Structure 1
């Protein structure tokens, strides 16, 4: 490109063209990394293949989706996923916001408290699951021991092997792993709220609950909206916590859509069927994200 053309692109009226040219490599890279595999997955979901091969395509069929919608396993996985998303999101929001409000105050040891708050987020998921596997052990686990000591139960609870308790073991583990992210995001939002708002509210005689209701919560809505979407997407896609802790059992009570996708692809080698599950998981995630963003936008305005 000649110097005259480069100078012509630098003109104010042509700067948008220069921006497109500079962004083109990044857009192409993102398209190759994200869009191309997604297109392959969608195309594979319309094929009945056991082992996909490069350069060879199966016949177009809707059998995967017909089988999927008629499968009770799929609908149970959808129910488990939605239930887990609701429980983990609400739990992470409550614990994360409470922790952020606590460490936002000035007290001795606040820096150490903030480091402790972020520690679970820094721990790798597999290590966190191993720790909670010991905590929820049915023979000598800390959680069962606490339930026996406090008189809630008379015997040790088989947390991981019981259909009614395994879900809550997974949910507690995910809340412990995910609430620091909510805390960090909320704390960043709290730091951006001017102190003059609180000082003026105190002068007017507003209580702590009123200051939280009319100042803190409305000003945190943009941050909370983005945070909730990210937490929901994390729970939708999370695989390692459930796989290591329960492997989707017992009796599929903790089998989410991500676990079902993995089992169908690498357990039964139904790659076309697994791709259909993955595509529907993506659709559900996008719809849930758009709903949350829409609700968050209405709350702001």
Structure 2
């Protein structure tokens, strides 16, 4: 009779037991972070819930109802927002602002990343130097540019006059034709270093063998950029684009400090429209409805960003 293999003296833990043990361990971990979760819920979720509730109520502070009540009025606030010419203007300004600044920040960031990926003397210093605009606080940057844009004493007007590019000083922040462009310039100057850093990291992850093989095959630098760099940078580029869009949607500080939304609402972003509606006219119901619309737009791009990052991790 052939000898049989000895039976194991013990069996492996069942899948159910392992999952129960894992759940128990996670419960302990969740217990430790419960205070943090509660704090985040109070700080972030409660204001969103309160704003959502206010968007369906009558909340005009300087025209109170007897007794101070805030009755439910359905979608009336949303209707007033969508029918408001000021809202439609701010929506158009916001989308134009997003499109121009995101495209320019990405383009300048890509150009800077390509240059910084080339070996040259002092490259480390230049890499550190390029971060300065991103590190400067918004208010400080805006105050500096207000002085530079000044109609009488600004350095920008002085340079343009000496170069004979203009015949008279330009009120960059006081003219509805130039104010938005001036604000966009500050946004691009301050934001392009982030795109440069992200894209530089993407460039350095591309295998050098691909470029060497392309060089052997006789490909030009432009062909290498178009056939290798652009496709290999696509995952990083998508993430950078979406992240810049999400950040720009809620932009407030730069434009408000520079122009306050003027002149003639030429630079009034959605965020500034919401602020003015709530704290200038005290119509908090309409402001809350505008805030919910802005939140909805932000959530759409946030979901796209999360999907892009997940696809990048899986790919």
TM-score class, shorter: 0.7 to 0.9
**Contact 2:243-2:305 within 8 A present in 1 as well:** no
Taking the aligned partners of 1:101 and 1:19, their CA distance within structure 2 comes to 45
1:19 Cα deviation from its structure 2 partner: 3.6
Aligned counterparts, 1:158-173, within 5 A: 158-173=171-186
Partner residue of 2:288? Answer: 275
1:57 Cα deviation from its structure 2 partner: 6.6
Asked if 1:41 is matched to 2:51, the reply is yes
Deviations 1:188-212 (A, max 9, x none): 1112222222222222222111111
Asked if 1:81 is matched to 2:98, the reply is no
**Contact 2:149-2:155 within 8 A present in 1 as well:** yes
Taking the aligned partners of 2:127 and 2:295, their CA distance within structure 1 comes to 35
1:264 Cα deviation from its structure 2 partner: 1.4
Length, aligned pairs only: 291
**Contact 2:239-2:308 within 8 A present in 1 as well:** no
| Structure having the higher Rg | 2
Taking the aligned partners of 2:231 and 2:306, their CA distance within structure 1 comes to 15
Taking the aligned partners of 1:206 and 1:280, their CA distance within structure 2 comes to 49
What CA RMSD, in Å, does the superposition of the two structures yield over aligned residues? 2.8
Asked if 1:59 is matched to 2:71, the reply is yes
Taking the aligned partners of 2:266 and 2:113, their CA distance within structure 1 comes to 33
| TM-score, with structure 1 as normaliser | 0.88
**Contact 1:167-1:254 within 8 A present in 2 as well:** yes
Partner residue of 1:207? Answer: 220
Taking the aligned partners of 1:207 and 1:50, their CA distance within structure 2 comes to 65
**Contact 1:9-1:15 within 8 A present in 2 as well:** no
1:134 Cα deviation from its structure 2 partner: 1.1
Partner residue of 1:22? Answer: 29
Taking the aligned partners of 2:52 and 2:252, their CA distance within structure 1 comes to 21
1:43 Cα deviation from its structure 2 partner: 0.8
Aligned counterparts, 1:49-198, within 5 A: 49-51=59-61, 58-61=70-73, 62-198=75-211
Structure 1 unmatched ranges of 5 or more? 1-7
1:220 Cα deviation from its structure 2 partner: 1.3
Partner residue of 1:221? Answer: 234
1:236 Cα deviation from its structure 2 partner: 1.2
Q: 1:78 to 1:100 in 2, by over 3 A?
A: same
**Contact 2:277-2:284 within 8 A present in 1 as well:** yes
Give the secondary structure class of the aligned counterpart of 2:166.
coil
Structure 2 unmatched ranges of 5 or more? 1-13, 63-67
Give the secondary structure class of the aligned counterpart of 2:19.
helix
Give the secondary structure class of the aligned counterpart of 1:163.
coil
1:289 Cα deviation from its structure 2 partner: 4.6
